[in-house]
Structure 1
Amino acid sequence: MASNTRLQIIIFTISLCNLSLMSSSSWRSLDTQTDYRKWVSWNVENYRKKTALQPQSINETPSGGGGKALDIKLSKAEMNKVTMTVSQDGTADYTTISDALHTIPLYNTRRVILVIKPGVYREKVTVPRALPFVTFLGDASDPPTITGNDTASVIGRNGVPLKTFQSATVGVDANYFVAINIKFENTAPHVIGSAGGQAVALRISGTKAAFYNCSFYGSQDTLYDHTGLHYFNNCFIQGSVDFIFGYGRSLYENCSLNSVAKKVASLTAQKRSTSSMASGFSFKDCVVTGSGTVYLGRAWGDYSRVVFSYTFMDKLVLPQGWSDWGKKKLDSRVYYGEYKCSGPGANLTARVPWAHMMTDEEAEPFLATHYVDGDTWLISP
């Protein structure tokens, strides 16, 4: 009797161990398979909580009355605006953008509008974190161009390569940055097969930043949508390889994405690296055109997130649509969604099996400025 009892205890203990191992493995598998569902569900629930009184588009966003109020810092900054002018011909307050920025007090608390006159500004511009509330305002009929040609492999002043981060013609680390009618450019060409060719036109690392009627010209890694909440409206973005990339949580609305790829490339390389990050790119009412053949996105981050909705996709978009960068383990982690897109490149019949054809409910959180919490910081330009 005692012998049988001991045997039963041993069998029971072994069974528990096996069950524990199986459960652990099963849960890991389940977590991986359902991460994208959790992400979409989180966005759906977040949307429902926020939209009771929230504006549905930038045109309805409050600028002093109605809807939800701007956050306190931004509200104060907007009530105390100051304007400076920049022109290369000597008729303005400053002849360079950098000179104007250097006169703004650190930890500035009011909106500073730099009215930048038409022209080509060959300067490397940095808006440091200590200069929030800066606006670059150009002429809609003749936008100024800020241009450079640095690449990641260029040797900097300290004797080491700049790398991608420092290659940017314009780098913005400050919060509450706005650009209107500005052309950002990096003229360094992309050479297929070469290393260190990343050449950023604009890097935006501050949060609550907006871009209206701007254009971004480059080749490899044109727009570094680094980190933070960002909004792009009626912008033109051109490049060849991964020309919109980064960790940002960003909405691109009514934007044109133009490929100048010579062979196969990707429009986006979204860098969501952990399952808990609330980052991801949403493209709504956009147009995808250009040369070469392109993936809509490739998985730079293990949990990369990109959604296209109501977007026209020309024939350059590959039938597969998306790339896992040869890492099959990412197929169940990334979330690449499409919703009511059109054009020859939007044909879904040959899409990779892990792409997601979104339902109305799944798509709704990504279709307006609530995706970037715009009710508290977006203002009419």
Structure 2
Amino acid sequence: MGSRPLHNDCHGKGGNASLPPPPPPPLVNSTKGHHHKWVGPSGYRHITVDIGGDGDYISVQAAVDAVPDNNMVNVVIHIRPGLYIEKVVVPALKPYITFEGAGREVTMIEWHDRASDPGPDGEQLRTYRTASVTVLANYFSARNISFKNTAPAPLPGMQGWQAAAFRISGDKAYFSGCGFYGHQDTLCDDAGRHYFKDCYIQGSIDFIFGNGRSMYKDCEIHSTAKRFGSIAAQDRRSLDEKTGFAFVNCRVTGKGPLYVGRAMGQYSRIVYSYTYFDDIVAHGGWDDWDHNSNKNKTAFFGVYKCWGPGAAAVRGASWAKELNYDMAHPFLAKSFVNGRHWIAPADA
């Protein structure tokens, strides 16, 4: 690999379940008497999207547009089976929205933008604007649905081929039974606290990336690498940041060789616990992104009770720590993302 990053645009770049419980309301300070009062969503609104026309809307974006700004209702957008070929944005002013699909094999949203493609202003999109679905709002959730970017897979070193399927930039986002399909930069885990449960995430190069504070529980991480690949590129930039990626009881499958983590930020933090690895992990397991930056002295890469034919290589780098229980414990529970306050016990 030398010192050249796999990534060429590191900062210009991410079945019918029961309805989720309403998220707890945020704590808002009252201006009178220094008391606190709770302000949060009230009740439910249901919207149906059906590509065949037998619903309230035929596109997902139209359903999102129907939610008013400063929304204070739990809005469940039921997305019936179908392939929805559109680019979707959930604005920051529209919290408390759920995308409820009919199963990740049958309900899919897809688009095909790449970083080098021109945007509406004629300038290159760059990575963050390629996402097929972008969520800027807080308290977003998605269940039983897939998100895809169908741009072709690049080889390592090819420029402008970053192509995100999903970008999550809001806080307190929950995903269950979802699929994320792409190649380079599939899932932009950009900012905020996020919880992924029973999800399938597929890609080739840095296909989970960003500076989110996120837990991946019981997920399958599937590599489509052609010559060389990498799973997670985490962008924590100071010791003061609480961000990082915690993988718990996941499965890493597919093709290699690939790094399991890369130090996108100077203080990158990635921990794998109780995770199975196919025999596809590159020698050394981890990459410090830029060999001249001394990130191998500041990044926190941890491994706890991982297994499978590739697990030995995950422990291969001298600066990837083999954790004991006390060191691993903060990365094993939903408290890593303060989930006790916003994730129902049954959903964790």
Equivalent position amino acid for 1:114 in 2: I
1:316-352 CA distances to partner (integer Å, 9 max, x unpaired)?
Answer: 0123111112236111100100000000111169611
> Corresponding residue for 2:74?
111
Larger Cα Rg: Structure 1 or Structure 2?
A: 1
Aligned: 1:70 with 2:20: no
Aligned partner (choices 132, 135, 138) of residue 169 of structure 1: 132
What SS class does the counterpart of residue 262 from structure 1 fall into?
coil
- 1:104/1:308 CA distance change after superposition, 3 Å: same
Q: Which ranges in structure 2 are unaligned for 5 or more consecutive residues?
A: 1-19, 29-37
Q: What RMSD, in angstroms, separates the aligned Cα atoms of the two structures?
A: 2.0
What SS class does the counterpart of residue 257 from structure 2 fall into?
strand
Residue pairs, 1:316-331, within 5 angstroms: 316-325=280-289, 326-327=291-292, 329-331=294-296
What SS class does the counterpart of residue 226 from structure 2 fall into?
strand
Greater CA deviation, 78-87 or 205-214?
Answer: 78-87
Query: Is this contact kept in 1: 2:303–2:315, CA < 8 A?
Result: no
Equivalent position amino acid for 1:304 in 2: S
> Corresponding residue for 2:324?
359
Residue pairs, 1:1-381, within 5 angstroms: 70-72=24-26, 79-140=42-103, 142-192=105-155, 193-325=157-289, 326-327=291-292, 329-347=294-312, 351-379=316-344, 380=346
Name the CA distance, whole Å, in 1 between partners of 2:215 and 2:314: 27
Query: Would you say how many aligned residue pairs link Structure 1 and Structure 2?
Result: 316
| Structure showing the higher strand proportion among its residues | 2
Moved over 2 A (4+): 69-79, 140-143, 325-328
Q: Which ranges in structure 1 are unaligned for 5 or more consecutive residues?
A: 1-61
Query: Is this contact kept in 2: 1:224–1:244, CA < 8 A?
Result: yes
Query: Is this contact kept in 1: 2:104–2:145, CA < 8 A?
Result: no
1:187-229 CA distances to partner (integer Å, 9 max, x unpaired)?
Answer: 1012223211110000000000000000000000000000000
Name the CA distance, whole Å, in 2 between partners of 1:265 and 1:103: 40
Query: Is this contact kept in 2: 1:71–1:376, CA < 8 A?
Result: no
Name the CA distance, whole Å, in 1 between partners of 2:253 and 2:292: 27
- 1:366/1:104 CA distance change after superposition, 3 Å: same
Name the CA distance, whole Å, in 2 between partners of 1:78 and 1:159: 39
Name the CA distance, whole Å, in 2 between partners of 1:155 and 1:141: 30
Displacement of 1:105 after TM fit? Answer: 0.7
Name the CA distance, whole Å, in 1 between partners of 2:116 and 2:46: 37
- 1:364/1:152 CA distance change after superposition, 3 Å: same
Query: Is this contact kept in 2: 1:77–1:133, CA < 8 A?
Result: no
Name the CA distance, whole Å, in 1 between partners of 2:315 and 2:95: 46
Name the CA distance, whole Å, in 1 between partners of 2:261 and 2:292: 14
Name the CA distance, whole Å, in 2 between partners of 1:267 and 1:72: 33
1:34-69 CA distances to partner (integer Å, 9 max, x unpaired)?
Answer: xxxxxxxxxxxxxxxxxxxxxxxxxxxx958xxxx9
Displacement of 1:291 after TM fit? Answer: 0.8
> Corresponding residue for 2:6?
none
Query: Is this contact kept in 1: 2:260–2:281, CA < 8 A?
Result: yes
Name the CA distance, whole Å, in 1 between partners of 2:86 and 2:313: 44
What SS class does the counterpart of residue 344 from structure 1 fall into?
coil
Name the CA distance, whole Å, in 2 between partners of 1:286 and 1:274: 27
Equivalent position amino acid for 1:70 in 2: P
Query: Is this contact kept in 2: 1:77–1:111, CA < 8 A?
Result: no
Name the CA distance, whole Å, in 2 between partners of 1:182 and 1:117: 10
Displacement of 1:143 after TM fit? Answer: 3.4
Name the CA distance, whole Å, in 2 between partners of 1:359 and 1:190: 38
Query: Is this contact kept in 1: 2:26–2:39, CA < 8 A?
Result: yes
